């Protein structure tokens, strides 16, 4: 605190200088400054410092605190190493005000952009220095990842300071991943700094059934400073180009978009032309090419439901799951096949001995936000020989056997559990240690092959789908790493009579897994979404799990 005060020329500086003067007199210094003269000089310095902004001196001291301790002592402590002899060099600055402008620019460039407005309130000199483009250009680069885009922007007459103050900082809270409130269908929105714009990209799965194709993107809105020095929000929905829009922050982790010119969404051919265009973009085909009548009904229902919003939507923040050392594989987003509903996006996360896939996009049967897969990693499945894998009855017998065992464990009375615990406590220390070692080995064997779980890849096992199991994509991996028992969520139209049905979770590699739905006799293949998604990782596992609970309540 004393260092900061002395940098600003206030506080304990008088006392420190009096102490130094007395020490120098004891050492035979020829300084004969009397106390009255020192009082006059100190008073003059305090008056000069006071003209620099009064209470703002505290902010200047905070800025000085960002420097290295050694630098602070050199420039403000008053300890001059040359006092014992002749000092022929320039005097050391005793205040931030005395530092050269180029050094102040470097210091201010290291401060977060959120505190720079407070620094500008200190005095006129600081306010003038904060108009330096170097400071704001560095903030744009370090906080928002902008590089060459800044040069293009400055060529258009928009400064880095305007970009930060009027665009990037005010809208920083909407950057990241969001889920739109579109009933059971949900969605995935990624808001990013894209060139000289902030753009909201809606992510769409590939056309069914090409699950391994890259994601498709569609811009829904953008914000920029191109036409004026004020941030402009534009709706990008429709086929007539950008038009007036608005963004409102409803509450923390939630915002809404509104289109002010919905006539730009209409097409000359009316709803029929709009439906044909939407169908080609959404499914990559015409209605005549879809022969399944039930699938036609589902497609038409989705068009009618989603088009009524006209890009006036509410979005809620979602996070990517954090990576834990024991995870079976890297958690994240995957595209999966869901029969007549097409491809949907799920989020795979790990919770102890459980792997869970939560829907980000959904359908009228199982809506977005619901837990579509729940895999028990403590129940590995050993696949039979390849010829027996083709027999659905053999696989069903294995899975149903594990399912019944798990159900018995869940339904076991609490008294039995207490009795088992009591008996376990009566065992000898050696037997207990041995049992712990065995259990730990089984757990490690079930959970390894994660990013840091083992040093070598597990041996590839032959895999084939049983006869009679329907797969949307006949091209699937013929080898796998591990298999586990799990359950999948099925329900009637309108999410009626939901129930969890047993199935087989198949891990193919780091980027692909599958699930065999025994009751439906169908197979879903999932492939990792590899797009770069900045500002999207959860701060902690607790925040992520709270987000999952809220997501399920949105569509329950």
- Supply the CATH number for residue 477's domain: 2.40.128
pLDDT of 454: 41
pTM for this structure?
0.73
What confidence tier does 14 reach under pLDDT thresholds 50, 70, 90? Answer: very low
Higher pLDDT, 506 or 125: 506
Do 306 and 350 belong to one domain?
A: no
Query: Domain boundary at 314, 335, 361, which?
Result: 314
Do 153 and 179 belong to one domain?
A: no
Any domain includes 507: yes
Do 260 and 245 belong to one domain?
A: yes
Do 139 and 256 belong to one domain?
A: no
Any domain includes 518: yes
| Distance in angstroms (rounded) separating the CA atoms of residues 294 and 378 | 38
Do 300 and 206 belong to one domain?
A: yes
Statement: residue 375 has pLDDT above 70? yes
Question: How many domains does the chain fold into?
Answer: 3
Mean pLDDT of 224-246: 85
Which residues, at least 6 apart from 12, have a Cβ–Cβ distance to it below 8 Å? 2, 5, 6
pLDDT of 88: 59
274, 279, 285, 288: CA torsion to nearest 10 = -70
Q: Are the CB atoms for 486 and 513 separated by under 8 Å? A: no
Do 145 and 258 belong to one domain?
A: no
Higher pLDDT, 222 or 127: 222
Q: What are phi and psi of 500, to 5 degrees?
A: -100, 130
Q: Are the CB atoms for 199 and 219 separated by under 8 Å? A: yes
Query: Domain boundary at 170, 188, 223, which?
Result: 170
What confidence tens digit (pLDDT) does each residue in 247-258 have? 998 788 899 999
Per the prediction, the chain carries an average pLDDT of 77
Statement: residue 418 has pLDDT above 70? no
What confidence tier does 159 reach under pLDDT thresholds 50, 70, 90? Answer: confident
Q: Which of 174-188, 432-446, 482-496 has the lowest mean pLDDT?
A: 432-446
Q: Are the CB atoms for 141 and 164 separated by under 8 Å? A: no
Do 150 and 274 belong to one domain?
A: no
Do 225 and 195 belong to one domain?
A: yes
Do 310 and 325 belong to one domain?
A: no
Do 114 and 236 belong to one domain?
A: no
Question: 66: phi > 0 → left, psi -120 to 50 → alpha, else beta; which?
Answer: alpha
pLDDT of 462: 93
Any domain includes 470: yes
Any domain includes 515: yes
Do 403 and 530 belong to one domain?
A: yes
What confidence tens digit (pLDDT) does each residue in 515-552 have? 999 999 999 999 999 998 888 888 888 999 999 988 88
Do 348 and 392 belong to one domain?
A: yes
pLDDT of 486: 96
| Distance in angstroms (rounded) separating the CA atoms of residues 460 and 310 | 49
Range of the domain at 137: 101-170
Any domain includes 57: no
Query: Domain boundary at 314, 344, 360, which?
Result: 314
Higher pLDDT, 84 or 250: 250
Mean pLDDT of 456-474: 84
What confidence tens digit (pLDDT) does each residue in 280-334 have? 888 887 777 776 778 888 888 898 898 888 888 999 999 999 888 888 899 999 9
What confidence tier does 76 reach under pLDDT thresholds 50, 70, 90? Answer: very low
Mean pLDDT of 73-87: 43
């Amino acid at each position: 605190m004393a260092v900061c005060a002395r940098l600003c020329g206030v506080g304990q500086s008088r006392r420190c200088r009096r102490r130094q003067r007395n020490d120098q007199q004891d050492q035979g210094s020829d300084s004969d400054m009397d106390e009255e003269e020192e009082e006059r000089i100190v008073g003059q310095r305090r008056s000069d410092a006071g003209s620099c902004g009064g209470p703002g001196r505290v902010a200047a001291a905070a800025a000085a605190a960002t420097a290295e301790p050694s630098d602070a002592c050199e420039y403000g402590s008053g300890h001059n190493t040359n006092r014992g002899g002749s000092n022929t060099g320039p005097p050391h600055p005793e205040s931030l005000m005395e530092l050269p402008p180029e050094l102040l620019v470097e210091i201010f460039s290291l401060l977060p952009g959120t505190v720079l407005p407070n620094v500008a309130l200190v005095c006129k000199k600081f306010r003038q220095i904060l108009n330096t483009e170097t400071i704001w250009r560095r903030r744009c680069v370090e906080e928002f990842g902008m590089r060459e885009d800044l040069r293009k922007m400055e060529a258009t007459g928009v400064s880095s300071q305007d970009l930060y103050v009027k665009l990037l900082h005010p809208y920083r809270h909407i950057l990241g991943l969001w889920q739109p409130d579109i009933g059971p269908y949900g969605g995935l929105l990624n808001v990013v700094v894209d060139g000289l714009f902030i753009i909201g990209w809606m992510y769409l799965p590939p056309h069914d059934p090409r699950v391994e194709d890259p994601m498709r993107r569609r811009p829904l809105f953008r914000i920029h400073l191109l036409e004026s020095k004020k941030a402009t929000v534009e709706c990008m929905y429709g086929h007539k180009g950008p038009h007036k829009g608005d963004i409102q922050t409803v509450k923390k982790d939630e915002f809404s978009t509104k289109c002010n010119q919905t006539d730009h969404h209409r097409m000359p051919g009316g709803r029929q032309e709009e439906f044909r265009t939407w169908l080609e973009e959404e499914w990559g085909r015409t209605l005549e090419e879809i022969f399944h009548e039930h699938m036609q009904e589902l497609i038409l229902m989705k068009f009618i439901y989603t088009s009524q919003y006209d890009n006036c939507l509410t979005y809620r923040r979602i996070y990517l799951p954090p990576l834990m050392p024991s995870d079976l594989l890297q958690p994240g987003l995957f595209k999966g096949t869901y029969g007549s509903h097409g491809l949907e996006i799920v989020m795979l996360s790990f919770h102890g001995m459980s792997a869970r896939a939560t829907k980000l996009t959904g359908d009228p049967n199982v809506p977005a936000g619901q837990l579509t897969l729940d895999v028990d990693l403590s129940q590995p499945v050993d696949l039979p020989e390849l010829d027996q894998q083709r027999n659905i009855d053999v696989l069903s017998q294995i899975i149903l056997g594990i399912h019944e065992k798990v159900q018995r464990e869940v339904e076991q009375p609490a008294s039995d559990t207490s009795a088992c615990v009591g008996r376990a406590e009566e065992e000898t220390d050696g037997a207990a240690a041995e049992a712990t070692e065995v259990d730990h080995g089984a757990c490690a064997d079930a959970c390894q092959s994660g990013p840091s779980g083992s040093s070598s890849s597990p041996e590839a096992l032959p895999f084939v789908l049983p006869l009679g199991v329907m797969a949307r994509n006949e091209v699937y991996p013929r080898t796998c790493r591990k298999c586990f028992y799990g359950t999948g969520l099925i329900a009637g139209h309108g999410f009626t009579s939901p129930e969890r049905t047993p199935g087989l979770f198949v891990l193919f590699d780091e980027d692909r897994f599958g699930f065999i739905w025994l009751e439906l006799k169908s197979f879903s293949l999932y492939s990792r979404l590899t797009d770069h998604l900045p500002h999207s990782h959860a701060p902690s596992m607790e925040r992520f799990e709270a987000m999952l609970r809220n997501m399920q309540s949105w569509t329950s």
